[in-house]
Structure 1
Amino acid sequence: MNVLIVDDNEMTRTILRSILVAERHEVVADVGTAQLGLAAALERRPAMICLDIELPDRSGVEVLRDLLVQCPDAAVLMISGRQDIETIKTCMEMGAAGYILKPFNAEAVLQGVDAALKRNAQRLEKRAGPPASV
């Protein structure tokens, strides 16, 4: 699976990259701003986007909204230190496929990725509707 990482913290990007690559995922890009993240998402069309909420140029919640429109098939996994229930609820209701709290460990990331992929597959299935009868 190909993954895009959008987080302003270089250490977080490095750790996420290491965890994902160790599980044979391809990290197609890791960037530190919303603007670069949106551009990379449009260019690379990743299956999953790991998205921080606190970005220097825009809120990750706003970026989530754009990604869901511009890359509707991608699973967007929010990764943030913001633990307030309202933020988590907002992201999930908007269409995020999952939410991981910082600080995280490899197990939390991999479980979050698996759960997000399943949730996204269900979302895409619902969007497609029932199969046409013959």
Structure 2
Amino acid sequence: MGKRVLIVDDAAFMRMMIKNILTKHGYEVVGEAANGKEAVELYKQLKPDVVTMDITMPEMDGIEGVKAIRAIDPNAKIIMISAMGQQAMVMEAIQAGAKDFIVKPFQQERVLQALERVLARDD
């Protein structure tokens, strides 16, 4: 089972927090991006197994990022992680192709559960 992760968040401390959780549990963080545009470029280069994506970011937000990555790879596994827990945002992210949605501040277990569940699915 693949465990290569691309972390996308405009806040460096948030990327570091997620990275620490993942590396501690055997995931390999292959790249980090500060916005959706960087995420799309890194996705093409690194071909990670899963992406964690913030929603509110400069240049290209997470929802546009999901759409752009899914346009390149319809099977991309993307988990949204955002403080924007409004229903509309969650629905938009899921419709754009996100596989799960984690609301900040999050528990370490919630992040690990989401990754395991998304990686276990074959859709």
Report the TM-score, using the length of structure 1 for normalisation: 0.85
- CA displacement 1:68-123 (0-9 Å, x = unmatched): 1113332100010011111101211222111100011211111111222234x2x2
Question: Pick from 89, 92, 116: which aligns with 1:90?
Answer: 92
How many residue pairs get matched? 121
Structure 1 unaligned residues grouped into runs of 5+:
124-134
Provide the rounded CA distance (Å) in 2 between the counterparts of 1:36 and 1:89. Answer: 24
Provide the rounded CA distance (Å) in 2 between the counterparts of 1:94 and 1:57. Answer: 18
TM superposition outliers: structure 1 runs of 4+ over 2 Å: 71-74, 115-119
Determine the structure 2 residue equivalent to 1:28: 30
Provide the rounded CA distance (Å) in 2 between the counterparts of 1:24 and 1:71. Answer: 25
SS of the aligned residue for 1:104 comes to coil
Percent identity between the two aligned chains = 29
Provide the rounded CA distance (Å) in 2 between the counterparts of 1:46 and 1:72. Answer: 13
Determine the structure 2 residue equivalent to 1:64: 66
1:12 equivalenced with 2:20 (yes/no): no
Question: Pick from 84, 108, 112: which aligns with 2:114?
Answer: 112
SS of the aligned residue for 1:65 comes to helix
SS of the aligned residue for 1:53 comes to coil
Report the TM-score, using the length of structure 2 for normalisation: 0.92
Which one has the largest radius of gyration?
Answer: 1
- AA aligned opposite 1:69: A
Question: Pick from 39, 42, 45: which aligns with 1:40?
Answer: 42
